[in-house]
Amino acid sequence: MKLYNWQFAPNCRRVRMFVLEKGLDLPSIEEVIGSGLRLLPQYIETWPHAMVPMLELDDGTRIGEAMAICRYFEDEFPDPNLMGRDGREKGTIEMWERRAYDECMIGTAEVFRNSHPEFVDRGIPGTTAKVPQIPALIERGKGRVARYYQKMQDQLRENRFVAGNRFSVADITTLCAIDFARAVDMSIPSDCPDVARWHTEISARSSAARSV
């Protein structure tokens, strides 16, 4: 088994943190990022989806998309459970996991990719086509992240963890997304004390430190 990886990429960190929470060793890791923050051409040639992370199994099966890879590990290594034990819990966890991705991760990616000088003409991932940056997305992305912080303050005021009273994959995606936001200067606002409290607690887990 091999994980094709870009160490900085928050979507890769989601997988690494998930695997560590399972109590597993990280799989063999191949770093596929080259100069100018570009995926290596030889990687894109064999994996035209042109994204990381990607997990290659020993039988040759290749799985892309962070949550799809986590789903594989959840099935193969059910304990500890990170994605829910019954329908109600599975649905609730996935709802919060998707929000962390759609609102915070994508919002931050809009800011990052449409402003960073290394991403000129690479406004979205997953393609080698020329996709111009759209400066208006910087403001839109910042608004999305700001609203997400407020939403999570409401949720974490009432709940210890993102999806309720126990740790789940929703906490993993949220941590990776918020740390990405913090890295591009969108810190946890001072009027979100419960997000800060939660962030301190989750960051203290060994999986958080070891996945960076």
Nearer to its own copies, 75 or 185 (CB): 75
Nearer to its own copies, 109 or 208 (CB): 109
CB half-sphere exposure, 109, CA atoms < 13 A: 17
Q: Is the peptide bond before 117 cis (omega within 30 degrees of 0)?
A: no
Size of interface with its own copies, in residues (CB under 8 A): 46
Nearer to its own copies, 136 or 212 (CB): 136
CA distance 128 to 49: 9
Segments in the chain forming alpha helices (H): 10-21, 41-46, 66-76, 87-99, 106-113, 136-158, 169-183, 193-203, 206-210
Taking CB under 8 A as the binding criterion, the range among 20-28, 33-41, 83-91, 191-199 that sits at the site for its own copies is: 83-91
Does position 127 interact with its own copies (CB under 8 A)? The reply is yes
Does position 56 interact with its own copies (CB under 8 A)? The reply is no
Q: At what angle do helices 193-203 and 136-158 cross, to 10 degrees?
A: 80
Does position 147 interact with its own copies (CB under 8 A)? The reply is yes
> What is the contact surface with its own copies in residues (CB under 8 A)?
48-49, 55, 57, 59, 61, 63-65, 67-69, 71-76, 84, 86-88, 90-95, 98-99, 103, 123-124, 126-127, 129, 131-132, 134, 136-137, 140, 143-144, 147, 151
